[in-house]
Amino acid sequence: MKLVNILKTVQGLGCRFYSRYPSSRIELPRIQLNLDFYLDPRNTEQIRENIRCRGSESSIDMVIQLKRQNVSEEQLMSELVKLPNMTHPSAQRLAEPRVVSRRDFAAPDHKIRSFEEISRILGGARLQNLSLFSGERTYYLTGVLAQLEQALINWTVDTLTAKGFQMISVPDILHPDIIERCGMNVRGERTQVYQLDPHFGQAALSGTAEMAIGGYLMSKRIENLPLKLCAVSRCYRAEASQSLQDKGLYRVHQFYKVEMFMVTKGAVDSSQAALQEILQIERDMFDQLGLSYQVLDMSPDELGDPASRKFDIEAWMPGRQFWGEISSCSDCTDYQARRLDIRDSENKFCHTVNGTACAVPRMIIALCEQRQTLNGSLSVPEVLQPYLGNISMLQGKPRKLRPNLVFVNSANFFEKSNKAS
């Protein structure tokens, strides 16, 4: 049997294949959860209710049963890590997301266009006929929209560094175990994680810079807290929504995002203060962009596994006629720190907090739809003008000056074109 067939057989049997490619295996720290809390009978009902409210498939009863059977710590931990973080008291009783604040949209007198219409007027995006070479839910930005993308990134980074965040450049390819320890499912049919072929070793595409920063801080002892980091990264998501609202640029497989990440002392007061700081930064930035948006305090079923408390920010998208998420921020308390061994100078587990400063595609949609003019041009927010050559209006080129791209759709395309001319 050929070697390649042997390797395929081994992988087909469900064995984890380690490449012979010259790279060392990842060494992960031992996961150290709070066993005193989880195994205390006085906390069982609280944990059980937390699991129910979050819609989690984990089971504290299975953990208790395994403990009674005196299984190994490794077996017990494999069940414990499935449990979601405990919900912050402020969100425990929320049956649905609660609107904290809202800045209403003042509709203009002229016709409201969708982003797809505006992008055609600006000649700045290609969102269709991409399946032949890049697949669906991908996109090209050109001209003024490509410039707007870079302006948003540069302005966001400048804003964050001015507020004390340190820049960090992160990899987009990570070991799946790092992603999993940050709280994102990497296996099964419902995963949004792209895993690469194991020929060059176990690797996956990162869904957010939060994961890469978590890996960077793994096994570190941090002296000066809070630590404030920000990163620009390409994010990869195996999105599968069929909703018409998610079409075009709204829900795509890869996009740029600027992420904030803070590490605090291992106390709820400290991480909640960091959460409020990040939320205020997000709100200040969206105010400066002149956006209409609402802030939501998320209910337990919307938190995912890592977050203890989470706020989402949704912008009104008049061309789509719905509130679309443009940002979020989460207090993960010690969920990630205990899985990645992130501690302070006193060897105590830290808390981690993260937030989206700018998810570029959705920010572009919100700006184009909310700040559109009568003829489909875009009124540029004052804070972005220095990053766009000090212009106040983004306008598309006249149709005659736009690139004329023609699809070659048959082998004798040019013969037919010559005859037609």
Per-residue pLDDT tens over the stretch 175-218: 999 999 999 888 776 788 888 888 888 899 999 999 999 999 99
pLDDT tens-digit readout, 232-269: 999 998 876 666 566 677 888 899 999 999 999 999 99
* Model pLDDT, residue 137: 76
Residue, of 190 and 270, whose pLDDT is higher: 270
Query: With 60 as the cut, is the pLDDT of residue 17 above it?
Result: no
Residue 80 pLDDT grade (very low, low, confident, very high; cuts 50, 70, 90) = very high
| Residue 126, CA distances (Å) to 116, 145, 256, 319 in order | 9, 11, 17, 18
Task: Give the list of residues 6+ apart from residue 123 with CB closer than 8 angstroms, or none.
Answer: 142, 143, 144, 396, 397, 399, 402
Query: With 90 as the cut, is the pLDDT of residue 414 above it?
Result: no
Dihedral (Cα; 53, 323, 259, 208), 10-degree rounding: 60
| Segment holding 9, helix H or strand E | helix 3-12
Residue 13 pLDDT grade (very low, low, confident, very high; cuts 50, 70, 90) = very low
Residue type at position 387: Y
Query: With 90 as the cut, is the pLDDT of residue 52 above it?
Result: yes
Residue, of 13 and 393, whose pLDDT is higher: 393
**Where in 152-273 does DSSP place strands (E)?**
166-167, 173-174, 204-205, 221-222, 227-236, 254-264
* Model pLDDT, residue 420: 65
Nearest to 301 by CA among 292, 310, 293: 310
Angle in degrees, CA 258, 150, 352, rounded to 5: 5
- How far apart CA 117 and CA 361 sit, in angstroms, is 15
Residue 314: CB atoms within 10 A of its CB come to: 22
SS3 170: coil
Residue type at position 218: M
